[in-house]
Structure 1
Amino acid sequence: MTNLDASQHEYEAHKTEQMESIAHARSAILDPRHWGHYTMKAFAQISPLYETFAQHLVGDHEMEALVALVDPNQPILVTFFTAVNVLLYGEPDDPLAAFYPSFTPSPRPVGEVYPFFRDFCLRHQEALRQMLPTMRLQTNEPTRCANLVPAFEKVFRLGHRRPLAMIEIGCSAGLNLRWDQYRYYYLQANDPQKGQPWVVSTFGNPFSPVLIQCTLEGEQRPPLPHGITMPPIAQRVGIDLAPLDINKEEDQRLLSACIWPEEVARHQLLRNAISMARKEHPLPIITGDACEVLPELLEALPPEVTPCIYHSYALEQGPVQVRDQILALVQEASATRDLYRVSLEMNAAQWNAPRLELFAYHGGSLARYSHLADCSVHGERMRWLAPF
């Protein structure tokens, strides 16, 4: 083979690899298995910036090649935009920041943003190439506790009101492990017959700086605690492959970067939750694989507690075989004691909305299943479906 032939062969191989990468990026943006359809719908409802970025990415080969670097188990577009946010937080004076409501109270028009977004990404493409293949979406959204609390109340009642032993899989910084320390407002969705939404329940710590509001849709009401009384917690522990430390500035930046730019109230809620957590005793968070850690944790629990394993937007963002292994371990552990698992996840290939589900295990088998509610992606709305 001549040098010319070798060069041509190398060039064609490179082009083939590049086209395969672009094809993968396009499928990642559009394929519902990769959250594409659902995230585009969510962008249209919540984030004009993300919607604009996503629309302009398609057909932009250089940008598509960067998107293709994201782990396909992750919500690809959200993860990509989060990585960009991380870099932008380090350069708040960059022209791109002028379009972000999270950076300025008077953002520039969203219709002008894409050239600035593209320029920022290409100027930082080496950093993105290093970040994206291993990046995990580490959203730690306290508002989702409003979806989880009714399920925890139900577990408390099913467990004969024994104290709960909370184990969170994929806990990120552990903010949702503190769910019983927050204050909650539940509103009934606006009824044309009755005017504005109205408060139907309020409970939790009345002095908490973390005030979480959730709007209930539909006619069913979830089971909720009363007043300042929450289900008692005997112990709580989180598990995460790469947990975040709220005392580290770079980890705080990553948590903030996970929040969509227009959701200014979510940014403030996160800051309040971090500030509150830093004043409290640190919670036990184990760095490790749940498949290895979970059996030992469950075995060590005393008999007088009700084990409640829960996860939110975690198991559906990892390999299917890992999810299945974790679920098999939970079921196997129920051979010697009753266990409960609360799941708040989004299966974009099969569901139209995130689901809150409750699984009760007994004697090594799944004894009871309830699809409790359909929820909004960040927890601010919920349609309760299960009988009280």
Structure 2
Amino acid sequence: MSAQGSTTRGSYLSERSFPFDGSVGYLSDEDWSQLARIWQEDGVIAATHGGTELKVKSGSVPDEIIVSAGRAHIRGFYYVNDADLGLVLNLNTGTSARYDLVVLRLDVSLNTVTAVIKEGVPGSPEPVLTQNESVFEIPLARLTVPANSAPVSTFVDRRQFIGRRIQVTDNGWYLAPGNIYYQPVSGRFYMNDGVGNGQPIARVSDTRVHFCTSTTRPNDLADGQLIYETDTGNMLVFRFGAFQLVNGKPPMAVLRHSIEQGAAANVGAIVSWDTEDVDNVSGHTPIGSANSKYTVQRAGWYRVTINASCSPVSGGYRQLAVRRNGNMNGNVIAQAFPTSSTVVPLSASGLMKLAVGDYLDVEFFHTGSGVCNLYGGAATRFEIEWVSPLV
């Protein structure tokens, strides 16, 4: 080790500094550990996220486990395993399962770092790691060793990966979990979230408004950042993983269906809407099986209106209901009780309290005879209009 310097005041050694060449004395194991442990936290050195460095796996026989090749840093000391390392496991002859730990053990008195199996007690929790200035252990895996000398049944990965300096890269998906990288193309910092994705790190100075369209919204903003949609005139804030309208046009939609739709007696039928006269915040899609739903993009009080005409059937009543999230309670309902078999108009309007992500649809129900049809075209309309914020 490199030599160290010291300063005495009176009869006491009060100051030390190291390492320096040419001074009296040598750097001790403890001195080196105290110095080098601040350079890096303890853990396995992984080249990529999900790497196999020092990963524990089963061996070729029941009483063997394998520690894969790899490197680690522990209390300032460097550990290297150049090839698969076999460790002998004591099979469990008891009647309850046993939990063992595979650890890297630093033993300062022996000047070694080695991979060992720290055996537990059948029927008890896993053993406690030893972590003091003489012996220090970090975990690699937890083993479930079944009773009656059965082979290991479960390997739980307990490796702790060390971080790295901030990387400069266009895409940091390959980094170990928690690593931070700088992306030159965007001028932003990201963190690898452990599943191969880069999560943006909030930047206090980034208060600019991002210009885009409703179909090209950025997907890497931090909470509180704003976008302006040039095609809709809407300004939205990114919050809790979603965009919420700040100002701009109040949401409004007028939906229709081009042809008539039928419903058998006593069976609720969900009305489809394949035509949009207007939908200024894209709450509805006229294509596919989801065209019955209007999804709320801005929280508030909405006025919803339903107008329809249904074909003649004898007896019973006719009903249209605007539902929130598929629930009939407290919603806008239109009912008619015709006295003869005639065309029946249905109309209702009312206010509904809606949150972002709520959806609206319309159910048609009748108790007459046969099939009753809702006429298409202009005869059947569903209107949604935002009128006030939540109060």
Mark yes or no: TM-score above 0.5: no
Q: TM-score, structure 1 length as denominator?
A: 0.20
Where is the helix percentage greater, Structure 1 or Structure 2?
A: 1
Where is the strand percentage greater, Structure 1 or Structure 2?
A: 2
- Relative contact order (alpha carbons < 8 A, sep ≥ 6): 1 or 2 greater? 1
Q: TM-score, structure 2 length as denominator?
A: 0.20
